[in-house]
């Protein structure tokens, strides 16, 4: 099993507002402010649950199926904590 790194996670609403950010690598404030605007340019997957888009920046050789599983698990945790996060 090869390990890969998640560099950051963004949760973005349908209106384009960033609802949650988590940075696992060092980025300057300027780079952090550009990330939500350049989300469409990322080479990867974005996944929408109800009104939230999950964007994750991973290594190029990262396992996309594993990332989808991580996102799904995270949504289940949010559902338990806040209730009905994944419902439209």
2-37 tens-digit pLDDT: 677 888 888 888 787 888 889 988 888 888 887 766
The pLDDT assigned to 42 comes to: 45
Q: Domain 6-82: which topology?
A: Beta-Lactamase (3.30.450)
Angular region, 48: left φ>0, alpha ψ -120 to 50, beta rest: beta
Domain range summary for the chain, segments of one domain joined by +: 6-82
The pLDDT assigned to 83 comes to: 77
The pLDDT assigned to 48 comes to: 58
Q: What is the DSSP letter of 38?
A: T
Task: Please provide the average confidence, as pLDDT, over all residues in the chain.
Answer: 77
Residue 79 CA to residue 69 CA, distance in Å, equals 15
Full-model pTM: 0.70
Percent of the chain with pLDDT over 70: 75
Q: How far is CA 17 from the centre of its chain?
A: 13
């Amino acid at each position: 099993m090869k390990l890969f790194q998640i560099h950051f996670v963004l949760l973005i609403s349908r209106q384009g507002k960033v609802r949650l950010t988590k940075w696992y690598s060092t980025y300057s404030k300027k780079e952090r402010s550009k990330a939500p605007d350049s989300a469409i340019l990322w080479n990867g997957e974005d996944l929408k649950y109800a009104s939230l888009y999950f964007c994750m920046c991973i290594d190029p050789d990262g396992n996309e199926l594993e990332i989808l599983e991580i996102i799904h698990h995270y949504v289940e945790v949010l559902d338990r904590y806040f209730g009905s996060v994944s419902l439209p």
